[in-house]
Amino acid sequence: MTRAVHPIERESYAILRSRLGTSGLPPWTRAVTERVIHASADPCYLTDLVCDEEALAAAARALAAGAPIVADSAMTAAGITARPVICRIRDPRTAGLAGRERITRSAAGIRVAYDAAGPGAVWVIGTAPTALAELLRIGASPALVIGLPVGFVGAVESKQALRRSGLPSLTNLGEKGGAAVAAAALNALLYEALPAEEESGS
């Protein structure tokens, strides 16, 4: 299997690398950092991301072996293009659980998704801090947590809690993040193992 790379993407990476010093980063950290910056056009992620090279490498191996991918929202799931994704935010059971337990639908969706994914999954949280908090609460034993929820309420705190948890993780220091950024980080782990071929077009 190969991945078609459009000339515009190649040019974008060339510009990125001409402006930022990413060449000294470890391989998986560089792949994730560059793809997040490419997706967001925000060079500040170079110093804002908190990467653990060993955790990223282990997660890439887990993905290659078929580990499930779970996303917190439809927006996050839509950005992950190379593999099927478990997302239960629109599952009727999620709405029912949220109502009964008086928790957010995002948090309820994490519980329902865990029933499908089980331990060893790669979790991609790009939208809701409450989803990340719930994932930490349930003890999911993940292969990796990409914890990049965005917002002024709870986002920073949930990321701090993720780093304190000791779970293998990729996160960032500030309030920014989002579905596109979280999906880009996951895609980096998938794409890096695929041979690239040039795509024609403008």
Residue from 3, 17, 38, 163 carrying the catalytic annotation:
38
Q: Which residues pair with 4 in a beta bridge?
A: 197
CA-closest candidate to residue 45, choices 164, 133, 141, 175:
175
6 in active site = no
Angle formed at CA 160 by CA 157 and CA 27, multiple of 5 degrees: 135
Phi, psi of 70 (to 5 degrees): -125, 135
Cα(91)–Cα(183) distance, integer angstroms: 21
Chain centre to alpha carbon of residue 59: 11
Give the C-alpha distances (Å, rounded to integers) separating 135 from 1, 20, 158.
Answer: 32, 34, 10
User: Please, are residues 91 and 109 in contact by the beta-carbon 8 Å criterion?
Assistant: yes
Copy the structure tokens of residue 174: 């500030």
The answer to whether 49 and 36 have CB atoms below 8 angstroms apart is yes
Question: What are the residue numbers of the active site?
Answer: 38
